[in-house]
Every structure is written in structure tokens, then in C-alpha cells.
Amino acid sequence: MDIIDMARASGMAVALDGRIGREEFQSVYGSLSALQRFAEAVRQGAVQQSGCQKRTTTPGRRA
């Protein structure tokens, strides 16, 4: 899940404010409705990630 791409896809503007070494500093601007779309996209991404994870342990059996 690329949070910057999700912000842009939601209608928000992403500005590069600066760079120090390899670290980039960015600001995100947008309307309240764009923020709501972004929040929904993050929620959907989290649901998809949790649904795609497989159980790594099997339930114990009762004797």
C-alpha cells in the first residue's frame, strides 16, 4: 500500500517540500471530501491486507 499514491488517487495534492540526504519531506493538501476518500481507501487497503494473510498456526485439537 503506497500511501502517497493513495493520497493522489483520492484527489489530494502531494508537494515535495525538501530533501535532506536520502530523506524526502512531503506535504499533502486537499479538501475535506478528498480526505474522506483517502481515509476510505486506507480502510479498504487494511481490510484487504488482513483478509489476504493466511493463518500461520493451526487450532489445537481436543483429545
pLDDT tens-digit map of 8-63: 999 999 999 999 999 999 999 999 999 999 999 999 999 988 887 655 555 665 55
How is residue 27 written as a grid cell?
Answer: 506535504
How many domains would you assign to the chain?
1
Q: Show the domain range for 24.
A: 3-47
Any domain includes 61: no
Distance CA 24, CA 48 (A): 28
Any domain includes 16: yes
How is residue 34 written as a grid cell?
Answer: 478528498
Taking the complete model, does pTM exceed 0.85, yes or no? no
Any domain includes 27: yes
Which residues in the chain belong to E strands, given as ranges?
Answer: 13-20, 23-29
Question: H helices within the chain, ranges in order?
Answer: 3-9, 32-52
Any domain includes 35: yes
Distance CA 36, CA 7 (A): 10
How is residue 14 written as a grid cell?
Answer: 502531494
